[in-house]
Amino acid sequence: MAGRTVRVQGFPAELPPDRAADKLTIHFLRTRNGGGDIAEVRVLPGSPPCALITFEAAEVARRILKVKNHVLAIGRTRYPLEVTLHAAELSPDEVLKG
């Protein structure tokens, strides 16, 4: 899965995980957002919560990362999303946070 997974933060913590996964799937499937076919969406608990989105193709993940402003609209509220490449291996910084 190297290079096909992005980490997404910035969606509301009060959103149930299944609903968050649905909203993120819709956003990241859209070609206008740089998206494409998704293999898996996993919403991870935490504060703040984050999601790991794995695309069918690495080029879709690269396109997603090039888009500067991802904004998730839920109702009338807009949430700016932080999208980064998900490293399969934890960096020393991430290990220390745990």
Per-residue model confidence as pLDDT tens digits over 37-85: 999 999 998 888 999 999 999 999 999 999 989 999 999 999 999 999 9
**Cβ within 8 Å of residue 10, ≥6 positions away:** 48, 72, 79, 80, 81, 82
SS3 7: strand
pTM of the model: 0.85
Query: For domain 5-85, is the CATH number 3.30.70.330?
Result: yes
Q: Residue 77, exposed/middle/buried by CB under 10 A (0-12, 13-18, 19+)? A: exposed
